[in-house]
């Protein structure tokens, strides 16, 4: 017997979903609100929700004190570059593991994932020394490399699960129909994998954009992305909550806008295989 969906049940679950969504969104909302407060109001007790003196002065100060655009361009180059290189490496890797697996394919996949099980800080010193000796500290190329390597296991795994879902029969049908490997790729495989490629690309970009551990430790100014820009507002001379919030809002705005417009792709990508 199908479960009966009463109006009451719908009402309750809708309310619960909204509440849950709001709870998750609250820190971001609070940050945005705080960025429009004065420093005094930012940590007034009790906190003020909407009835405060709205001001944009924090944004002006942040812009005067540090160069947002410089950091934003760095973020874009580092996140974009590492994503692009990761995709170029991961696509063939995932193809071969999905369509021409060997006995060890499973082990390789697990081994790759296992690299993500160790906390990054465990290899901070050796990586730092390598970066120092090769002159990669505070260089965008270095950050592109480290972020690319860090995300590669996840990217390969995501693409692998995607490609796995493409039935082998269809590729064989294309082969019977006379498609060469190149044409098989262009006419059959790629169109079928586009949603997977797109969501992997997006997720990888977001992960790289928000990555803070390596970017904070391996860059200071020249290559510093937006994470460093935010961190510079929690300085030893005291916390400036309002300015920190303004800086954070500026830093995450591009990625939130990107996420907003691509949310359908993202959800589909993350639940792929789980829900059919």
Partner 1 sequence: MGQITLQGVRKSFGPVNIIKDANLDIENGSFVVFVGPSGCGKTTLLRLIAGLEDVTGGQILIDGKNVVDVPPAKRGLSMVFQSYALYPHMSVRGNIAFGLKMAGLPRPEIDRKVEAAAATLNLTPYLDRKPRELSGGQRQRVAIGRAIVREPKAFLFDEPLSNLDAALRVQMRLEVTKLQKQLGTTAIYVTHDQVEAMTMADKIVVLNAGRIEQYGSPLELYERPANLFVAGFIGSPKMNFVPGEAAGEPGVATLGIRPEHLKIGKEGEGWPGTVSVAEHLGRDTFLYVDAGTLGMLTARGVGEFSLKAGDRVWLSPEPARLHRFDKEGAAVRA
> Which residues does residue 275 pair with via DSSP β-bridges, in sequence order?
272
For the record, the structure tokens of 273 come out as 């295989």
Stretch that binds partner 1, among 43-51, 146-154, 184-192, 255-263 (CB under 8 A): 184-192
For the record, the structure tokens of 36 come out as 């429009």
CB of 164 to partner 1, least distance (A): 15
Residue 173 is a binding residue for partner 1 (CB under 8 A): yes
Residue 276 is a binding residue for partner 1 (CB under 8 A): no
Which region, left, alpha or beta, applies to residue 54 given φ > 0 means left and ψ of -120 to 50 means alpha?
Answer: beta
Stretch that binds partner 1, among 33-41, 42-50, 58-66, 168-176 (CB under 8 A): 168-176
Residue with tokens 């993202």: 266
Residue with tokens 């020249």: 222
Stretch that binds partner 1, among 58-66, 67-75, 78-86, 178-186 (CB under 8 A): 178-186
Single out the residue of 21, 47, 135, 191 in contact with partner 1 (rule: CB under 8 A).
191
Residue 116 is a binding residue for partner 1 (CB under 8 A): no
Residue 275 is a binding residue for partner 1 (CB under 8 A): no
Helices within 54-123 (DSSP H only): 57-65, 68-99, 105-114
Cα dihedral: 101, 105, 106, 107 (round 10): 170
Containing 238, the helix (H) or strand (E) segment is strand 238-239
3-state secondary structure of 220: coil
**Quick one: 22 or 187, whose CB is closer to partner 1?**
187
Residue 18 is a binding residue for partner 1 (CB under 8 A): no
Residue 167 is a binding residue for partner 1 (CB under 8 A): yes
Residue 175 is a binding residue for partner 1 (CB under 8 A): yes
Instruction: Name the DSSP class of 1.
Output: -
Residue 99 is a binding residue for partner 1 (CB under 8 A): no
Burial class of residue 108, CB neighbours in 10 A (0-12, 13-18, 19+): middle
Single out the residue of 54, 177, 263, 271 in contact with partner 1 (rule: CB under 8 A).
177
Single out the residue of 183, 185, 198, 255 in contact with partner 1 (rule: CB under 8 A).
183
CA 68/CA 247 separation, integer angstroms: 8
Residue 216 is a binding residue for partner 1 (CB under 8 A): no
For the record, the structure tokens of 255 come out as 């990625």
Q: How many residues touch partner 1 (CB under 8 A)?
A: 16
Single out the residue of 67, 107, 172, 222 in contact with partner 1 (rule: CB under 8 A).
172
Containing 102, the helix (H) or strand (E) segment is none
Residue 17 is a binding residue for partner 1 (CB under 8 A): no
Residue 192 is a binding residue for partner 1 (CB under 8 A): yes
> Where do contacts with partner 1 occur on this chain (CB under 8 A)?
167, 169-170, 172-179, 183, 187-188, 191-192
């Amino acid at each position: 017997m199908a479960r009966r969906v009463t109006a009451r049940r719908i009402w309750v679950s809708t309310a619960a979903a909204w509440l849950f969504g709001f709870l998750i969104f609250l820190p971001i909302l609070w940050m945005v609100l705080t960025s429009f407060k004065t420093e005094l109001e930012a940590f007034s007790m009790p906190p003020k929700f909407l009835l405060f003196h709205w001001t944009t002065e924090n944004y002006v100060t942040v812009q005067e004190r540090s160069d947002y655009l410089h950091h934003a361009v760095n973020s874009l180059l580092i996140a974009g570059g590492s994503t692009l290189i990761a995709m170029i490496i991961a696509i063939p890797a995932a193809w071969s593991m999905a369509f021409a697996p060997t006995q060890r394919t499973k082990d390789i996949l697990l081994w790759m994932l296992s690299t993500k099980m160790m906390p990054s800080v465990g290899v901070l010193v050796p990586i730092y020394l390598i970066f120092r000796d090769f002159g990669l500290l505070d260089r965008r190329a270095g950050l592109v490399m480290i972020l690319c390597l860090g995300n590669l296991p996840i990217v390969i795994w995501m693409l692998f699960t995607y490609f796995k879902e493409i039935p082998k029969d269809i590729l064989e049908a294309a082969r019977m129909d006379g498609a060469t490997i190149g044409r098989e790729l262009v006419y059959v495989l790629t169109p079928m994998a586009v949603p997977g490629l797109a969501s992997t690309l997006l997720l990888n970009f977001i992960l790289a954009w928000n990555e803070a551990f390596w970017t904070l430790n391996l860059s200071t100014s020249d290559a510093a992305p937006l994470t460093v820009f935010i961190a510079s507002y929690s300085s030893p001379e005291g916390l400036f909550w309002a300015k920190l919030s303004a800086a954070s809002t500026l830093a995450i705005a591009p990625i939130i806008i990107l996420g907003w417009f691509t949310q359908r792709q993202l959800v589909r990508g993350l639940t792929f295989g789980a829900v059919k």
